[in-house]
Amino acid sequence: MITKLLCLIMMVAGTGAVAAQQTRPKALSGRPTRYKLVWADEFNYNGVPDAQKWSYDSGHGNDGWGNQEWQDYKAGDTSTTYVSNGLLRIQANRTITGTDTVFTSARLKTKQKASWKYGKIEVRAKTAYGLGVCSAIWMMPADDQKNGGWPFCGEIDIMEHIGWESHKDSIFQTVHTGAYNHLKKTQKGMRTYIPRSWQTFHSYVLEWTPEGIDYFIDGLHRYHFPNEHKTMEEWPFDTAFYLIMNISVGGQWEGAFGIDPAIFPAAMFVDYVRVYQMPDHYSN
């Protein structure tokens, strides 16, 4: 989610780049079984998201959050974030006042509320739909200036979905580091065919240990990123990360083919967020 340059996008299927999955996925045997639930939000309440668990980014950010995005993130605004009927709604809106068009949305995060080093993070969600928006569930380090900031600090994208006609049935799961990132065309991850992800809930899972990062969708293994035991350039993931969920509008990646004004309001729905850790990883 940090800067998504069009010419370096995950359409590329080559060395280190995110490739389309064409083969049948497989479930992995021998997965860790000692995970214990350590944090969750089941969204079994009504109103704004639980302030004990979630905070917000707000405003337009620096250069549109590093990506020339158009949305103005709102904090605690029920038009962009609301919990009801057991679901969290994150919504992007388009408002016209005179000759001005304004896009609003929300970016929730657990920063300074909760962060974890290693574990299993599961989010059951439906993406937003439409050209020009990106639904995202991702993680950044609690100290995001560690190792000199992005991309050296690391980034873990659990789920990203954009509305391009050629990509609307794709889910991206990607890792960024100093050595592996889209600025170098070396990002690591997988593009998976998931038809109409905006109509059906799917389970998006990250399993993260000292030895690697694994991505799953609906219980099927999609991609493995190993710890090569080289330097922080390849593996900056031995530190606590926090969770982020948002919808962005426009920008160099999601907005590369324009924004369809007919899609608004565009909403991502989240059924639950669950974080598990193994006992020997409880201390961050």
Any idea which residues carry the catalytic annotation?
155, 160
DSSP letter at 278 equals -
Q: Read off the tokens for 243.
A: 């969770």
At 279 the three-state DSSP class reads helix
Cβ-in-10-Å burial (0-12, 13-18, 19+) of 100 comes to exposed
In whole angstroms, what is the distance from residue 214 CA to residue 207 CA? 5
- 120 beta partners: 207, 276
Query: Which residues, at least 6 apart from 64, have a Cβ–Cβ distance to it below 8 Å?
Result: 70, 250, 251
CB 249 within 8 A of CB 69: yes
**Contact between 219 and 42 (Cβ < 8 Å):** no
User: Where do we find the tokens 């997988």?
Assistant: 190
d(CA 236, CA 241): 11
Both structure tokens of 102: 């304004």
Tell how strand 133-141 and strand 119-126 pair up.
unpaired
| CA nearest neighbour of 204 among 88, 108, 124 | 124
State which amino acid sits at residue 106.
A
